[in-house]
């Protein structure tokens, strides 16, 4: 196995983004596994891996990944939104609604506000 260095991890992260965009979420997860093993605190890599899990319909791993991010960054609006989408897709609407509202409260982007169904 080749020696991993920080530059390799950046390349793997970018390649994982491309794989996810090309609809290869499992390939993205494989690349991100080594990045996260080397940098477990990297929330960007964890959120990208959560997105890949979600795209691969692996909802429980996606949920766990996002929860780790939210432990470190409780004010991360995107993480709340992603968790809400995961709960929604898992058939857990009450939990989804809570996190949609948190996302909208933290960052009132139109997509977040619409998903939270705030009365205006």
For 27-83, what is each residue's pLDDT tens digit?
999 999 999 999 999 999 999 999 999 999 999 999 999 999 999 999 999 999 999
CA distance 56 to 61: 10
Does residue 92 contact residue 100 with C-beta atoms inside 8 Å?
Answer: no
Q: How many CB atoms lie within 10 A of CB 106?
A: 17
pLDDT value for 7 = 86
Digit-coded pLDDT (tens) for 105-115: 999 999 999 99
Q: How many CB atoms lie within 10 A of CB 15?
A: 15
Model pTM above 0.95: no
The burial of 61, by beta-carbon neighbours within 10 Å (0-12 exposed, 13-18 middle, 19 or more buried), is given as: middle
């Amino acid at each position: 196995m080749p020696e991993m260095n920080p530059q390799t991890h950046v390349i793997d992260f970018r390649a994982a983004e491309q794989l996810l965009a090309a609809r290869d979420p499992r390939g993205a997860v494989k690349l991100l596994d080594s990045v996260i093993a080397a940098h477990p605190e990297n929330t960007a890599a964890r959120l990208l891996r959560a997105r890949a899990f979600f795209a691969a319909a692996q909802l429980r791993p996606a949920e766990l990944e996002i929860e780790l991010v939210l432990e470190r960054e409780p004010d991360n609006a995107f993480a709340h939104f992603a968790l809400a989408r995961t709960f929604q897709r898992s058939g857990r609407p009450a939990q989804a609604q809570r996190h949609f509202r948190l996302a909208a409260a933290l960052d009132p982007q139109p997509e977040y506000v619409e998903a939270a169904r705030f009365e205006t």
